[in-house]
Chains A and B, each alone.
Chain A
Amino acid sequence: MSEFKGKTLSWQIVNGAVEVALHRDPCNEIGSATLEELEKLAAALPELSKDAHAVILYSTLKAGFSAGADLRELYQRMQGMEKGAAVRGVREFLERIHRVMNTLDAAPLTTIAAVHGVTFGGGFELALVSDIIVADRMARFCFPELRLGLIPGFGGIPRLKRDLGNAVVRDLLLTGRSFNVMKAQQIGLVSQIAAEGEALRVARATASQVGKFDRRTATAAKEFMKPIPYDELKREIEIFCDLYSRPAVEEGLRRFVENEGPQPYLP
């Protein structure tokens, strides 16, 4: 499937790069519909890798790359459901999205996230599976999950630990603060900064460059430099599910979902 047009994302091969456009309003919240289409992308990767050397993930939406998990769907999933069933449901969702993230992480292509604006929670975690993050000057990153009584659930902490010093990870996680692209580059998360509105162009130039090299060598280098922390990823699902069953989480989600004020994305 060299081309796909879905409700939440689409892809096509352009100059040897699979360009994956995220386009679910309002800001690419990741729920069941996005998961299903990400699964299609993961399943298509072996075939796509015959005609492409890179994957570029980007958003067509002005607000940003992705605001993260679909909290409204997560909250609704809890309603009218016995607690054990709700936890089983969220565990199944997490295991599915971890399979997708792990597949993208290990893809035999060079993966580039071209991010702008809000890159929060699950959206940040999606960017973290990429080999290279190119960020627009106005990009902003955050793991806000602790505000809801949760930890990141799509593989965020193990992958952030893989790339950054643990002390920085603790600050970002325990304060739940957002940070800008200069900080992201300073701590080693973002390798290239693009001018406002230019991240996709910079990502395309990067994809073109990586396409000059032998794929077998590039894949070997990637496997050597970017091990997937499977044990920690499994542990993350266990901690998330343990926390998810508490009333404080439902209350945190309810506050977010019912917040009609101007500040739901501020701490």
Chain B
Amino acid sequence: MSMPTTDHTLDEILNLAASHFKVPREKLTPDDDFFKTLGIDSLQALDLLTRLEHHFRIELPDYELQGVSDFRTLASRIQARL
């Protein structure tokens, strides 16, 4: 199986976030601040992280997300663990 591209990973993150937090997919863009766009706090961000880890079958330590608040950077962190 070929490695998914960063764009593909980003798309899957946006789909999952839109679906779980019930935000229209078209309202989410790669450079959005996901705390603001999704209206989530740190506990909900951990919930999102857990869902992403399950979805991509990876382990992503939360310290790698320090200071990360946009979907594009989040995708690059995940991509590095695939």
Q: List, in ascending order, chain B residues with CB within 8 A of A264's CB.
A: 42
> Is there contact, CB below 8 Å, between A63 and B43?
yes
A-B contact count (CB 8 A): 60
**Chain A: which residue is nearest B57 at the CB level?**
A182
Interface residues of B in 18-76 (CB under 8 A from A): 35, 40-43, 45-47, 49-51, 53-54, 59, 61-63, 65-66
Interface residues of A in 171-207 (CB under 8 A from B): 175-183
Say if the beta carbon of A158 comes within 8 Å of chain B. Answer: no
> Is there contact, CB below 8 Å, between B42 and A182?
no
> Is there contact, CB below 8 Å, between A266 and B59?
no
> Is there contact, CB below 8 Å, between A183 and B46?
no
Say if the beta carbon of A133 comes within 8 Å of chain B. Answer: no
> Is there contact, CB below 8 Å, between A64 and B43?
yes
In angstroms, Cα B63 to Cα A177, docked, is 6
Point out which of A117, A183, A267 has the most chain B C-beta atoms below 10 A from its C-beta. A267
Question: What's the least CB distance linking A65 to chain B, in Å?
Answer: 12
Q: List, in ascending order, chain B residues with CB within 8 A of A27's CB.
A: 43
Interface residues of A in 96-151 (CB under 8 A from B): 117-118, 137-138, 140, 142
**Chain B: which residue is nearest A178 at the CB level?**
B62
> Is there contact, CB below 8 Å, between B63 and A180?
no
> Is there contact, CB below 8 Å, between B43 and A118?
yes
Q: List, in ascending order, chain B residues with CB within 8 A of A64's CB.
A: 43
Q: List, in ascending order, chain B residues with CB within 8 A of A117's CB.
A: 43, 47
Using a Cβ–Cβ cut-off of 8 Å, how many residues does chain A contribute to the interface with B? 25
Partner of B41, one of A140, A142, A262: A262
> Is there contact, CB below 8 Å, between B40 and A138?
no
Known: A63-B43, A64-B43, A140-B46. A266 touches B53 (CB 8 A): no
> Is there contact, CB below 8 Å, between B62 and A267?
yes
> Is there contact, CB below 8 Å, between B61 and A175?
yes
Question: What's the least CB distance linking B35 to chain A, in Å?
Answer: 4
Say if the beta carbon of A263 comes within 8 Å of chain B. Answer: yes
Please name 13 further chain A to chain B contacts, defined as beta carbons within 8 Å, in addition to the given A177-B61, A178-B61, sorted by A numbering: A117-B47, A138-B51, A176-B63, A178-B49, A180-B53, A182-B53, A262-B41, A262-B42, A263-B42, A264-B42, A265-B42, A266-B42, A266-B46
A to B CB contacts below 8 Å, 30 in the list: A64-B43, A117-B47, A118-B43, A138-B47, A138-B50, A140-B46, A140-B47, A140-B50, A177-B62, A178-B49, A178-B61, A178-B62, A180-B50, A180-B53, A180-B54, A182-B59, A183-B59, A262-B35, A262-B41, A263-B45, A264-B42, A265-B42, A265-B43, A265-B45, A266-B42, A266-B45, A266-B46, A266-B62, A266-B66, A267-B62
* B interface residues (Cβ-Cβ under 8 A, vs A): 35, 40-43, 45-47, 49-51, 53-54, 59, 61-63, 65-66
* A interface residues (Cβ-Cβ under 8 A, vs B): 27, 63-64, 67, 117-118, 137-138, 140, 142, 175-183, 262-267
Sort A-B residue pairs by CB-CB distance and give the 3 closest, nearest first: A265-B42, A177-B61, A262-B35
